Chains A and B, each alone.
Chain A
Amino acid sequence: MRTMRWGRLLVAAVPATFIGYFFLYPVARILALGLSELGVGSDGVQARLFQIGWFTMWQAVLSTVLTMLVAAPMTWAVAQYDFRGRRLATALVTVPFVLPTVVVGSAFVALGWRDSVGAILAAHVFFNVAVVVRTVGALWSRLDPNLHDAGRVLGASEWKVFRTITLPLLRPAIAAAGAIVFLFTFTSFGVVLILGGFRYATLEVEIYRQAVTLFDLPLAAALAVVQLVGVTGALYAYSRYQERHTATWALRSEKDRPRPTGGARLLVGASVVGTLTALAIPIAVLVARSLQPGSYRALIRDDPVVGVPLASAGNSLIYAVLASLIAVTIGVMAAAVITGGKGRLSNWFDLTLMLPLGTSAVTIGFGFIVALDRPVDLRASFWLVPIAHALVAVPFVVRTTVPTLRSIPAEIREAARVLGASPLRVWREIDLPIMGRAALVGSGFAFVVSLGEFGATSFVARPNTATLPVMIFRLLSRPGAGSFAMAMALAVILAGMTAAIVLWIDRAQFGEIGAF
């Protein structure tokens, strides 16, 4: 018994040290530094704080709800039916998620969608539809159809079955997807700046403005605290919700999905084609603008200023491999701790791991500077980039593996233990094989998160290695028709790489559990 407890502590120590040293400690240091100089704000400042906090909150809630609604038809179609191109469709839906905001922003501007809350919300939906389709879809496709059929036989309408049986069973996945979309939109930066037309500022935008442009570190720290409180509150609500609504049920294998017939066929077709078309409009703008003579060929030539632009794809891949290795190691250990323990502590541990998703990039970047000089000076180190990416990616690995681990019936583990297996062996022989695929899927999403990450790393002092999004940004910030077409072409390549990687991961998950 004693060895088991020590073993668990050891497993818990690794993710706890990671999140503690690379997130909690730097954030605490920078906030303490800022707040120590803070005077009591005047009324005007407080009113503005309230106004910004309020806008941040309601636009995030509205973005989350809209994303759910827009994603619903497509989620239903890919979860319930098997059809030609289904896997391609779920891969394509992921593409917007990784595109840099500058690029999407410029496409929205070209379409005339800007200077309004509507444009901000539309962009948030565009970026996040994938989160819902993939998280909720994965669970939905594995619900036992007998429950549905039983309801129907007993005389309930299709709508009533959905409302009283399917929807309650889907709640954990809906809440998880909602939490992630909420955190992403709560900390929205580029979208609000480019499409909001100045009238709107989120806490993230204001933190940047106060800290970087106006050098008001104390006020920025106060704003960062407000942001953290909001995020923690939302995560707490999410966790309470999960506690109350998690039911254990039998999951079926994904294989026996029917092909749609009759009316369903039309609905499936309309849902998938409709969603993909809507998402494709901004991407079509990028493709059209990239099609200048020689723009793709220029990507492999040595540009006198930025070098070979496509070389940045190699850098991105290296960072993405490292980031997903870190994220999977930390995430899988964390998931084992979270599902192994019950009660408050493991709950809070789970929430803490989600926090980096909802923390401003400025806070994390500046936190690194003040905190990571001892014992080893890690500031400006190569490793900070994959670590920063991993901080954002760990929640995806955790959200993927925890539900799967929870679905393993306790009797199986107990049986193994009765037969004399050590805890480690139980984990290796039972948990790991079942969770393996889920972890692979989680690592795939970690990979994609790293590939598209731009915000968090732009505040980290780092070696001069350009990733794809950084290279796109560089090309976009110099004049010339060639530069512009190259930036767009590189964005198209990023989109293509993403689709290919996701498609490859989805093949690996065939017949197994996996959200994302």
Chain B
Amino acid sequence: MRKTLTAIAFLLIAGACGQEEAELPDRLRLIAHDSFAGSVNEETFAAFTEDTGIEVEMIAAGDAGSMVNQAALSAGNPLADVMFGVDDTFLSRALDEDIFIEHRSELLDDVVAGLRPETRMVTPIDFGDVCLNYDKAWFEESQIAVPDDLDLFRDPAYATLLTVEHPATSSPGLAFLLATIERFGEDGWQQFWGDLRLGGVNVVPNWDTAYYGDFTRYGGPSPIVVSYASSPPAEVVFASEPIEEAPTGVIEAGCYRQVEYAGILAGTDYPESAGDLIDFMLSVGFQETIPLTWFVFPANRDAELPDVFAENTTVPGQPTRFTPETIAEKRDAWIDEWVAIMEG
């Protein structure tokens, strides 16, 4: 009997200790959308493991939307300790579901202006600009000027050159719609899209159909497509035969900025170590690996861009952004209205 009591007492004490974060974990689990997880290798978190002795185990969770859904469905009993890759589009849903706990990184002061969210639940790690890309060779040959203002696309001569993604099925498609709403105002964008439709703009369901199907660079009919600011440098890095200069360029007008955040998942046993992992992801060393691994831009302004980025793209000075709350509130109505204009 006494033995049993001792054992119970021991277990209770051990249990009580477990609630404090007495020991460092052997490993932390990091859940991310497939495009981040797919580019993680042994070296990605090697420096973190070396410093702390903690291994980082990656869990892939589909696209950003299904990742946030999975986190909402497992709130309080999370699949991982840290989540990375929730963006402005899905942030307010994530916050509504209370899936994160607060964390304040000391590196927040080094973050590029405008990226810091109002909430302490998440930390910005990177940003990507959705921008119009154009085929340099096509414009050279046709002697047509590269448009430098969205307003020019009201002219059928330009509208017919453009391929966009559907905002309901594609994240760059939604970003471009948001850019036009910012540019022409909440009462003016409808007219702009009406003009685009009359002018013969091409709408496709997803990015790969737009880029690899309909872009003149890949044998399609459109010399301008909605893609990313990082696409031209990617054209150089992932060319089939080495090239010096990107065959495509970025049109600075009409860019939309998406920020990706990391957060500590509520219910983790290791909130402090999880915070350390987020700080590591915001440190200059890790941030400088971001452009050539994930083809987005580092959130830490001290991180330097690689040459191929510096030479082949620009970071738009005044990209459009909406707050997560605005997006959550108005997105569905905007998409419905867009569908009515384009398909009605």
Q: Counting CB contacts under 8 A, is B166 at the interface?
A: yes
Our pick among B39, B93, B213 for the contact of A109 (Cβ within 8 Å) is: B213
Count of residues in A whose CB is under 8 Å from the partner chain: 57
Are the CB atoms of A479 and B231 closer together than 8 Å? yes
> In the complex, which residues of chain A have a beta carbon less than 8 angstroms from the beta carbon of B29?
380
Contact at A474–B70, with CB atoms within 8 Å?
Answer: no
B-binding segment of A152-160, A267-275, A362-370: A362-370
Also in contact, A305 and B39, with CB within 8 A (given A110-B213, A461-B31)? yes
Does any Cβ of B come within 8 Å of A5's Cβ? no
Chain B residue at minimum C-beta to C-beta distance from A303? B238
A470 within 8 A of B: yes
Chain A residues near B69 (CB-CB < 8 A):
211-212, 215, 217, 366
A466 to B57, CA, bound (A): 15
Inter-subunit contact A304/B292 (CB<8 Å): yes
In the complex, which residues of chain A have a beta carbon less than 8 angstroms from the beta carbon of B237? 304, 480
Q: Name B17-66 residues within 8 Å CB distance of A.
A: 29, 31, 34-35, 37-41, 57-63, 65-66
Judge whether A193 and B234 touch: CB under 8 Å.
Answer: no
Contact B212 A380 (CB under 8 A): no
| Nearest CB of chain B from residue A489's CB, rounded to whole Å | 11
A476 to B211, CA, bound (A): 10
A215-B93 in contact given A369-B79, A479-B238 (Cβ < 8 Å): yes
Question: Which residue from A199, A295, A461, A466 sits with its C-beta under 8 Å from B61?
Answer: A461
Residues of the A chain whose Cβ atoms lie less than 8 Å from the Cβ of B61: 461
Contact of A213 among B59, B168, B292 (CB under 8 A): B168
Given contacts A295-B240, A478-B295, contact A365 B235 (CB under 8 A): no
Known: A193-B169, A213-B168, A459-B66. A478 touches B59 (CB 8 A): no
Chain A 399-436, CB within 8 Å of chain B: the 1/0 string?
00000000000000000000000000000000000000
Q: Chain B nearest CB: distance from A474 CB in Å? A: 5
A-chain residues with CB within 8 Å of residue B314 when the two chains form the complex: none
Name the A residues within 8 Å of B80 (CB-CB).
Answer: 380
Which A361-408 residues have C-beta < 8 A from chain B? 362, 365-366, 369-370, 373, 379-380
Q: A366-B69, A461-B70 are in contact. Are A479 and B60 (CB under 8 A)?
A: no
Kindly state the separation between the CA atoms of A295 and B241 in the bound complex, as whole angstroms: 10
- Please choose the segment from B124-132, B144-152, B202-210 that sits at the chain A interface, where 4 or more of its residues have CB less than 8 A away: B202-210
Please, how many angstroms separate the alpha-carbon atoms of A212 and B235 in the complex? 31
Q: A373-B74, A461-B79 are in contact. Are A193 and B235 (CB under 8 A)?
A: no
User: Using an 8 Å CB-CB cutoff, how does the interface string of A500-516 with B read, 1 for contact, 0 for none?
Assistant: 00000000000000000
| Interface of A: prevailing SS | helix
Within A293-329, which residues are at the interface with B (CB < 8 Å)?
Answer: 293-295, 304-307
A366 B70 Cβ-Cβ under 8 A = yes
B157: A residues at CB distance < 8 A: none
Residues of A within 8 A of B60 (CB): 461-464
Q: Which of B59, B169, B211 sits near A380, CB closer than 8 Å?
A: B59
A484 engages B218 (CB within 8 Å): yes
Shortest C-beta distance, B133 to chain A (Å), equals 8
Distance of B135 from chain A, by nearest CB (Å): 12
CB-defined contacts of A28 to chain B, threshold 8 Å? none
Residues of A with C-beta under 8 A to B231? 479
Would you call A369 and B58 a contact (CB within 8 A)?
no
**Contact between chains at B74 and A370 (CB < 8 Å):** yes
State A470–B34 Cα separation when bound (angstroms): 9
Question: What chain B residues lie within 8 Å of A470 (beta carbons)?
Answer: 34, 38
| CB of B216 closer than 8 Å to a CB of A | no
- A6 within 8 A of partner (CB): no
Interface flags, A171-209, vs B, CB<8A=1, else 0:
000000000000000000000011011110000000001
* Whole-angstrom distance between the Cβ of B292 and the nearest chain A Cβ: 7
Q: Would A365 and B206 be within 8 Å (CB), given that A379-B74, A466-B38, A480-B238 are in contact?
A: no
Contact assessment for A109 and B209 in the assembled complex, using a CB-CB cutoff below 8 Å: yes
* Residue pair B238, A483 in contact (C-beta under 8 Å): yes
- B77 close to chain A: CB less than 8 A: yes
Whether B58 pairs with A464 at a CB distance below 8 angstroms is yes
Is A214 interfacial (CB 8 A cutoff)?
yes
List B contacts of A380 (CB < 8 A): 29, 31, 59, 79-80
Chain A residues in 8 Å Cβ range of B62: 365, 458-461
Contact between B213 and A463, CB atoms less than 8 A apart = no
CB distance from A496 to the nearest CB of B (A): 21
Q: A198-B205, A373-B74, A459-B66 are in contact. List 9 more A-B contacts (CB 8 A).
A: A106-B212, A198-B203, A212-B69, A213-B65, A214-B332, A461-B62, A463-B59, A464-B59, A480-B235
> What would be 28 A-B contacts, judged by CB atoms less than 8 Å apart?
A109-B213, A194-B205, A194-B206, A198-B203, A209-B168, A209-B169, A212-B63, A212-B69, A214-B332, A217-B69, A292-B240, A293-B240, A294-B241, A305-B292, A305-B293, A365-B66, A366-B69, A380-B29, A380-B59, A458-B63, A458-B66, A464-B38, A474-B34, A480-B239, A481-B238, A482-B239, A484-B212, A484-B218
